[in-house]
């Protein structure tokens, strides 16, 4: 615990220090990044120990705030979420030292380092807080610091817009959380988490938690801020936000579930439904994107959907009294939290490298980058394969666990339990397939083929500081993929904390489940060996022959140009047409169908359907409704007195009658 | 005895209408002064049978302050501000009276519905108290001159006082003295403020004063 407090203190020093040395750029980078990195390194050891089953520690300091106390508690659940926070924050800070160099002289960098430290500290406090007031304060600090990080390039209109969308969404969520904690606190007479217990209206509390935490996590339809905020933020910030910050929403939901007592089946059904819609729509929307970081943001929605599916299956199984299924499903969902942190961090940093070198995030303006940026390309490929859930990488292990649980559930549970399991099975398969298509497109169009523009043509590999984080994360992906069974077995304390089942039986069940994972691990190793063997054979076979390079797809064209390559839109067109109803892609074609060719233009654009058909009309309506109240604002004392009088009188009449 | 209380209450209601219907500031001030005296008498009459020295002296001093000292201050403010009548009410005088009638209806209904812990000496007391307060609010909301608004606040306070007489026969002396002092100081300060405002701006229309505050 002391180490974690020191880690928070180091973040604080980093934050304060970066303001003090704001004008000395060398010192600033040193202090700002140093605070995050040192703080993370200090905290990671106790977090690992606690996640592996060290007894929970707590620390309580009195606090002047009403109902508040500085009550920190480190249990397996907190510790498990601390791991990605520390890891990704440290790597992102390291990455940021070079990434932000490009803005040197144009932008004040001190705020960015300040808020990165604050964000890291607040995320640590969020998962450690054991008092609702402390939690909410840290939660709000997290939202605000990330808002300022997102609006780093605040001279751009689109960035400011994205920032506002994020801020509004974030506060809608916080409003629900406030109600949730006040209800819990009132029922239990204390704002400390360990006093919270199941009260009467658990269903209402669950829904409030779902909306409040779901907004942060990015459940559809509350996801609208993600595709705006992630592309707008600097890449290392996107990595932190997408890889770990949105996971605090999952953490909060799990933490609340531990208060609510035995879960009801419909919670699981709801989570499964949310998971399905988030997963499928998230990946379909990702398919249709042209902006690399926007694509990654939608893919985060998809992965949050997979996590929700796992949680939903777990809850359905818990309420049906099937511990094995529940344990495996929760293990899958939680492992996916960690996995997503690894590969999404990796992909965002990779996308950052691309954007940094080519100055564009438009997929259709890139191409052929694998030759020019081999390190970035290789790590991005590993991330793309992992996020698609392909063996032998980590994404497969966690999705496999969810598959395993829902297979078991579909077979052994009764009708009401097996329906969500079957839906999860088919949904997960669909999501996996579409994700593969999506990342084939992302990797293929960006890194393969020929450069489509001069920017891509003249790109160079990013510096070593920007490559190392990617390598670390890629090896993390491979590690979990290859040693999946060990990792799964070590999750026993965590799963026992979440489900409330005794640790020994959880451990036994996980050992049983990990056998299947081990088989996958062996096959994965075999696959890698095979690939290596083939590659070796190829090298040997080619070593004595002349090797020439030729156009891949000549297609009989006499003079092909890079612009004749597949574009991102054309590659995914078959799929996006199937899902056209959801996507509502707008196609703009200017040109003519005359015999002789003339200048023509073809564009497609896919808005977020929820943004376009739900939230925009909703907020316009609210805005219009508020405008109709304008006449009330008369700036006359008499009127205001009258309003007060009428209100009081109405209240009195209402009370009396 | 009940007869006397009821007639005082009817007079209270009538002075309320007087306040609503009159455009002349002097008449309005007089209406408030009469209300003050009536309330003083009311507070004494209600206590008949259990009279004490404090029980008589307090209403008496209240009646003197509200019936004579405050009107004197207000008349002075009126002369200094050089205003004789309220010229442009936000709602017309006819409408004010209609609003007053509606307020009387609401008050009667409220008095009927409201259950109090101790029975007031007259069933008219609660409606009359409510009505006086409502009249105060109408005046505050509908008149332009700062002076008339002061009168509105005084009517509001009178209503509260009457209600106090209805529910609690005896308030602690200190509290009652405190309220009296508050009202006195309030009017005193307002009188001075009105005088200074009128000297600065040549009028005391709150409607025109708002132009000097930043519009939101």
- One-character DSSP codes across A34-97: HHHHHHHHHHHHHHHHHHTTPPPEEEEEE-SSTT-EEEEEE-HHHHHHHHHHHHHHHHHHHHHH
Cβ–Cβ gap B137/A642 under 8 Å: yes
The C-alpha angle with vertex A106 and arms to A102 and A109, in degrees rounded to 5, equals: 75
Closest residue of chain A to B134, computed from CA coordinates: A645
A&B contacts, CB < 8 Å: 40
Q: Specify the pLDDT at position B170.
A: 57
Domain boundaries of chain B, sorted by first residue: 2-212
Cβ-based contacts of A641 with chain B (< 8 Å):
137, 140-141
Cβ-based contacts of B208 with chain A (< 8 Å):
none
Q: Is the pLDDT of residue A100 over 50?
A: yes
Measure A625 CA to nearest chain B CA, in Å.
19
Task: Please report, rounded to a whole number, the percentage of residues in chain A having pLDDT higher than 70.
Answer: 98
Q: Is A641 in CB contact (< 8 Å) with chain B?
A: yes
In this structure, is residue A520 part of a structural domain? no
In this structure, is residue A180 part of a structural domain? yes
Cβ–Cβ gap B215/A638 under 8 Å: no
Cβ–Cβ gap B106/A638 under 8 Å: no
Q: Is A657 in CB contact (< 8 Å) with chain B?
A: yes
Cβ-based contacts of B215 with chain A (< 8 Å):
635
In this structure, is residue A334 part of a structural domain? no
H or E element: which one contains A587?
A: strand A586-590
Query: What are phi and psi for residue A59, nearest 5 degrees?
Result: -145, 130
In this structure, is residue A166 part of a structural domain? yes
Measure A630 CA to nearest chain B CA, in Å.
11
Cβ-based contacts of A652 with chain B (< 8 Å):
110
Cβ-based contacts of B114 with chain A (< 8 Å):
656
Cβ–Cβ gap A638/B113 under 8 Å: no
Cβ–Cβ gap A637/B216 under 8 Å: no
In this structure, is residue A117 part of a structural domain? yes
Q: Is B82 in CB contact (< 8 Å) with chain A?
A: no
Q: What mean pLDDT is predicted for residues A340-347? A: 94
Q: Specify the pLDDT at position A194.
A: 83
Cβ–Cβ gap B137/A636 under 8 Å: no
Distance of CA B122 to the CA centre of its chain: 20
- Give pLDDT tens digits for A160-216: 999 998 999 999 999 999 999 998 888 888 888 888 876 677 888 999 999 999 999
Q: Which residues contact A154 (CB under 8 A, 6 or more apart)?
A: A160, A163
Q: Which residues contact A573 (CB under 8 A, 6 or more apart)?
A: none
Best interface-test mutation with A: which of B86, B130, B137 has the largest number of A CBs within 10 A?
B137
Cβ–Cβ gap B137/A638 under 8 Å: no
Task: Please report, rounded to a whole number, the percentage of residues in chain A having pLDDT higher than 90.
Answer: 50
Q: What mean pLDDT is predicted for residues A127-133? A: 93
| Cα–Cα distance for residue pair A523/B100, rounded to 1 Å | 89
Confirm if A251 and A127 have CB atoms less than 8 A apart.
yes
Q: Specify the pLDDT at position B216.
A: 39
Q: Specify the pLDDT at position B171.
A: 59
- Does this complex have an ipTM over 0.85? no
Ordered DSSP codes for B87-134: ---SS-HHHHHHHHHHHHHHHHHHHHH---SS--SSTTHHHHHHHHHH
Report mean pLDDT in 10-residue bins for chain B, 216 residues.
86 92 87 91 80 80 87 84 70 86 90 75 85 88 79 85 70 66 72 66 61 46
In this structure, is residue A463 part of a structural domain? no
Of B113, B134, B210, the CB nearest to A635: B210
Split into its structural domains, chain A has a count of: 2
Q: Which residues contact A91 (CB under 8 A, 6 or more apart)?
A: A239, A345, A349, A468, A469, A472, A473
Cβ-based contacts of A653 with chain B (< 8 Å):
106, 110
* Per-residue DSSP letter, B66: I
Whether this model's pTM surpasses 0.90: no
Cβ-based contacts of B207 with chain A (< 8 Å):
636
- Give pLDDT tens digits for B13-61: 999 999 988 888 888 899 999 999 998 888 888 877 777 787 788 888 8
Q: Specify the pLDDT at position A554.
A: 63
Q: Specify the pLDDT at position B208.
A: 60
Residues B176-206: b if buried by 16+ CB within 10 A, e if exposed: beebbeebbeebeebbeebbebbeeeebbbb
Mean of per-residue pLDDT scores for chain A: 89
Note down the domain range covering A237.
1-189+233-253
Q: Is A637 in CB contact (< 8 Å) with chain B?
A: yes
Q: Specify the pLDDT at position B214.
A: 44
Cβ–Cβ gap B215/A656 under 8 Å: no
Distance of CA A441 to the CA centre of its chain: 20
Instruction: List the single range of A38-42, A593-597, B26-30 with lowest mean pLDDT.
Output: A593-597
Q: Specify the pLDDT at position A535.
A: 93
- Give pLDDT tens digits for A501-555: 888 888 898 898 888 888 877 887 888 889 899 999 998 988 888 888 776 666 7
């Amino acid at each position: 615990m002391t180490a974690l407090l020191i880690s928070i203190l180091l973040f604080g020093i980093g934050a304060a220090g970066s303001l003090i040395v704001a004008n000395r750029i060398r010192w600033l980078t040193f202090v700002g990044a140093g605070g995050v990195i040192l703080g993370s390194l200090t905290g990671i050891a106790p977090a690992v120990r606690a996640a592996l089953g060290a007894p929970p520690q707590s620390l309580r300091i009195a606090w002047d705030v009403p109902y508040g106390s500085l009550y920190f508690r480190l249990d397996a659940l907190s510790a498990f979420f601390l791991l990605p926070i520390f890891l990704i924050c440290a790597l992102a800070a390291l990455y940021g030292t070079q990434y932000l160099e490009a803005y040197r002289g144009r932008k004040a960098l001190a705020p960015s380092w300040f808020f990165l430290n604050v964000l890291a500290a607040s995320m640590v406090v969020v998962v450690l807080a054991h008092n609702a007031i402390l939690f909410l304060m840290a939660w709000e600090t997290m939202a605000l610091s990330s808002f300022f990080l997102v609006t780093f390039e605040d001279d751009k209109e689109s960035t400011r817009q994205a920032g506002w969308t994020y801020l509004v969404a974030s506060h809608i969520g916080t409003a629900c959380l406030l109600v949730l904690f006040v209800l819990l606190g009132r029922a239990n007479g204390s704002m400390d988490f360990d006093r919270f217990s199941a009260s009467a209206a658990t269903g209402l509390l669950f829904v409030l938690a779902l909306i409040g935490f779901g907004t942060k996590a990015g459940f559809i339809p509350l996801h609208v801020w993600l595709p705006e905020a992630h592309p707008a933020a600097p890449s290392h910030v996107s990595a932190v936000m997408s890889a770990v910050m949105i996971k605090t929403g999952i953490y909060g939901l799990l933490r609340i579930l531990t208060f609510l007592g035995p879960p009801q089946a419909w919670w699981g059904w709801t989570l499964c439904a949310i998971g399905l819609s988030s997963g499928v729509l998230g990946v379909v929307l990702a398919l249709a994107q042209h902006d690399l970081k926007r694509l990654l943001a939608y893919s985060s929605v998809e992965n949050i959907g997979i996590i929700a599916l796992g949680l939903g299956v777990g809850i359905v199984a818990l309420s049906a009294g099937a511990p094995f299924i529940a344990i495996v499903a929760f293990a899958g969902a939680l492992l996916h939290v960690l996995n997503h942190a690894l590969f999404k961090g990796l992909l965002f940093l990779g996308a950052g490298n691309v954007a940094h070198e080519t100055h564009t995030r438009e997929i259709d303006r890139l191409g052929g980058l694998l030759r020019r940026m081999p390190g970035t390309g290789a790590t991005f490929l590993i991330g793309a394969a992992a996020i698609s859930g392909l063996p032998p990488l980590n994404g497969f292990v966690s999705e496999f666990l969810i598959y395993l649980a829902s297979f078991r559930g579909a077979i052994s549970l009764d009708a009401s339990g097996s329906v969500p399991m079957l839906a999860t099975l088919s949904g997960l398969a669909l999501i996996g397939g579409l994700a593969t298509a999506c990342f084939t497109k992302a990797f293929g169009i960006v890194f393969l083929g020929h450069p489509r523009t001069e920017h891509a043509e003249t790109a160079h590999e990013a510096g070593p500081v920007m490559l190392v984080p990617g390598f670390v994360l890629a090896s993390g992906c491979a590690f979990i993929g290859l040693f999946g069974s060990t990792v799964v077995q070590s999750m026993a304390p965590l799963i026992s904390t979440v489900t409330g089942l005794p640790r020994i039986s959880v451990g036994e069940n996980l050992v049983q489940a990990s056998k299947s994972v081990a088989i996958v691990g062996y096959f994965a190793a075999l696959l890698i060996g095979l690939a290596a063997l083939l590659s070796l054979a190829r090298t040997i076979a080619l070593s004595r022959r002349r090797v020439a390079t030729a156009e891949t797809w000549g297609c009989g064209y006499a003079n092909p140009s890079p612009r004749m390559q597949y574009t991102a839109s054309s590659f995914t067109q078959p799929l996006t047409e199937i899902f056209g109803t959801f996507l509502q892609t707008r196609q703009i074609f200017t040109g003519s169908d005359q015999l002789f060719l003339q200048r023509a233009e073809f564009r497609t654009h896919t808005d977020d359907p929820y943004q376009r058909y739900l939230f925009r009309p909703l907020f316009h309506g609210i805005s219009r409704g508020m405008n109709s109240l304008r006449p009330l604002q008369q700036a006359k004392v008499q009127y205001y007195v009258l309003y007060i009088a009428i209100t009081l009188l109405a209240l009195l009449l209402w009370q009396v009658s | 005895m009940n007869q006397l209380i009821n007639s005082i209450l009817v007079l209270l209601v009538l002075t309320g209408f007087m306040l609503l219907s009159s455009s002349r500031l002097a008449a309005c001030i007089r209406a408030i002064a009469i209300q003050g005296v009536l309330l003083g008498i009311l507070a004494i009459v209600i206590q008949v049978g259990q009279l004490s020295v404090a029980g008589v002296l307090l209403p008496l001093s209240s009646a003197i302050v509200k019936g004579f000292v405050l009107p004197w201050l207000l008349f002075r403010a009126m002369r200094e501000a050089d205003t004789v009548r309220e010229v442009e009410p936000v709602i017309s005088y006819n409408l004010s009276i209609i609003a007053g009638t509606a307020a009387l209806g609401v008050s009667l209904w409220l008095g009927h519905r409201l259950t109090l812990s101790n029975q007031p000496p007259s069933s008219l007391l609660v409606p009359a108290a409510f009505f006086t307060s409502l009249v105060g609010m109408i005046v505050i909301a509908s008149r332009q001159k700062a002076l008339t608004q002061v009168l509105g606040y005084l009517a509001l306070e009178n209503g509260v006082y009457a209600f106090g007489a209805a529910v609690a026969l005896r308030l602690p002396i200190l509290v009652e003295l405190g309220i009296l002092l508050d009202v006195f100081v309030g009017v005193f300060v307002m009188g001075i403020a009105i005088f200074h405002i009128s000297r600065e701006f040549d009028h005391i229309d709150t409607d025109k004063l708002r132009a000097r505050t930043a519009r939101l």
